[in-house]
Structure 1
Amino acid sequence: MKPIISPWLIYFASRADSLKILAGCILVCCIIAICIAYMEGDIDYGSVLTHKSFMKKCAIVSVISAVALAVTPSAETIYTMAAVKEITPDNIQAIGKTGKDVIDYITDQIDKVVNDKEENKK
């Protein structure tokens, strides 16, 4: 029997929150680096231009990090998306709940299985 959700999807879903944290940290560090590079240069003498390429690189990394932060879904969203493709109207009627209740139940069960496995490793 084929599993509803691939074990690889569960693994990558558990790493999605870490990716968001990493992207946020990189974004904050780049913004701080840009501010320091700008303050270190003296506008009157044009020495800000010496840090221009560094600031440009930090700005590019900041934009990429901000986009990654914005488009990376949470683990719960990934589980929901994976479960939704397997749910049909007949399944929902058989259970007798709304679609949202079914998705919440499935997501809770997946989290329970994943958390039980993590606790057993400790």
Structure 2
Amino acid sequence: MEPIISPWLIYFASRADAVGILFLIVAVAAFAICLIGFDDLTKNGFKLFISIGIISVILTVLTPTTETVYTMMVANELTSDNVQAIGKTGKDVIDYITDQIDKVVNDKEENKK
């Protein structure tokens, strides 16, 4: 039997928060270089670091959280027939399934420790 949601998607979803933090660190570093090393930077170097900082801030804002990625994966597999069979609203079903995925992922991480 083939899984509904790929285990690889669950793995990459669990890393979404770390990717957002990485973009934020890059943005802070780029802006810090511009502020601290402004005298040593050429005009092109300054523009480069400002561009990197702005792009990193945009990517930080656009990177979804782990819970959002889980919700998107579940919503992709959810049909109106599934919701009617359970008898709850779509949001209730998505929240329940997201909680179950999170529980499975967290249980596996605790077992490794």
Scaled by the length of structure 2, the TM-score of the pair is 0.91
How far residue 51 of structure 1 moved from its aligned partner, in angstroms, is 2.9
2:27: which partner in 1? 27
1:12: which partner in 2? 12
Letter in 2 for 1:75: T
**C-alpha distance in 1, partners of 2:64/2:103?**
19
How far residue 53 of structure 1 moved from its aligned partner, in angstroms, is 2.5
Pick which of 1-10 and 104-113 moved more: 1-10
The partner residue of 2:105 within 109, 114, 121 is 114
How far residue 63 of structure 1 moved from its aligned partner, in angstroms, is 2.2
**C-alpha distance in 2, partners of 1:37/1:28?**
14
User: What SS does structure 1 have at the residue aligned with 2:77?
Assistant: coil
Residue 61 (structure 2) pairs with residue 96 (structure 1) = no
Please tell me whether Structure 1 or Structure 2 has the larger radius of gyration of its CA atoms.
Answer: 1
Residue 59 (structure 2) pairs with residue 59 (structure 1) = no
How far residue 61 of structure 1 moved from its aligned partner, in angstroms, is 1.2
- Post-superposition, which runs of at least 4 consecutive aligned residues in structure 1 deviate over 6 A? none
Contact persistence 1:84–1:103 (CA under 8 A): yes
The partner residue of 1:68 within 46, 50, 59 is 59
What CA deviation, in whole Å up to 9, does each residue of 1:30-88 have, x standing for no partner? 111111133xx3xxxxxx7x532321221121122122212211111111111112111
User: What SS does structure 1 have at the residue aligned with 2:48?
Assistant: helix
Identity across aligned pairs (percent)?
Answer: 58
Instruction: For structure 2, list consecutive stretches of 5 or more residues without a partner in the other structure.
Output: none
**C-alpha distance in 2, partners of 1:62/1:79?**
28
**C-alpha distance in 1, partners of 2:2/2:46?**
51
1:45: which partner in 2? none
**C-alpha distance in 2, partners of 1:54/1:98?**
53
